[in-house]
Chains A and B, each alone.
Chain A
Amino acid sequence: EAEVAQSPRYKITEKSQAVAFWCDPISGHATLYWYRQILGQGPELLVQFQDESVVDDSQLPKDRFSAERLKGVDSTLKIQPAELGDSAMYLCASSAIRGYEQYFGPGTRLTVT
């Protein structure tokens, strides 16, 4: 069964350091999403790609967060510098058709100390 891959699964970093997360969507899925889930809340969308183009980054804190999907396949989400409030689960998802079922990866648990 095809799955969304993410790495690393866990990351501990110090405040002000840079951190990066990687996602490989299900093969053939044109739409890729990055969500952030804070403990006790539901996931919130950070950025959405259609192929290699960003189509929704309205909730991305652009002063410290960046995302790219250069060849329209895998994607990287970066935080620089990390802050204590960035501690959360970062989830990647993909869908075959924008607006319909999204399939999530296992997530990266980030702890900023």
Chain B
Amino acid sequence: DQQVKQNSPSLSVQEGRISILNCDYTNSMFDYFLWYKKYPAEGPTFLISISSIKDKNEDGRFTVFLNKSAKHLSLHIVPSQPGDSAVYFCAATADRGSTLGRLYFGRGTQLTVWP
């Protein structure tokens, strides 16, 4: 059962515009969320995270928004650049119990930024 869902397998955006990647989760115990970027033949690279006590976290061109009531988060990239083209994974974890530290990943969204 997929507890973290990324329902858009792909997204295509023009350079300079905003990219919005979406993620939904089902487990109300999740309280820490992360976004990773992955290039082919490489491991995922950590981008940005957000705790459930916040609704927004910003780092340069990347902003993550969290809507706990909707169990939804999104990653905004502004402005988008061709080098942002990669697969983006949403991940979540629960800060308690025997599974502390286990990241639950979505299936990923392939972002393509075209000139």
Contact = CB atoms under 8 A, between A and B. Distances in A.
Interface of A: 4, 6, 31, 33, 35, 40-45, 48, 55-56, 58, 91, 93, 95, 98-107, 109
A42 B107 contact: yes
17 contacts: A4-B43, A33-B103, A42-B4, A42-B89, A43-B89, A43-B103, A45-B103, A55-B100, A58-B98, A58-B99, A95-B101, A98-B100, A99-B93, A99-B100, A103-B46, A104-B43, A104-B45
Contact of A55 (B41, B46, B95, B98): B98
A102 B46 contact: yes
A5 B106 CA distance: 24
A102 B103 contact: yes
Interface of B: 4, 32, 34, 36, 41-46, 49, 89, 91, 93, 95, 98-103, 105-108
Most buried by A among B43, B93, B102: B43
B36 to A, nearest CB: 8
B34 A101 contact: yes
A56 B104 CA distance: 14
Nearest to B45: A104
Given A55-B100, A95-B101, A99-B95, 14 more contacts: A33-B101, A35-B103, A43-B89, A44-B105, A45-B102, A45-B103, A48-B102, A93-B43, A99-B93, A100-B49, A101-B46, A102-B46, A103-B46, A109-B41
B11 to A, nearest CB: 16
Nearest to A49: B101
A-B interface, 4 closest residue pairs, ranked by CB to CB distance from nearest: A42-B105, A104-B43, A98-B101, A104-B44
Contacts of B106: 42
A105 B101 contact: no
A30 to B, nearest CB: 11
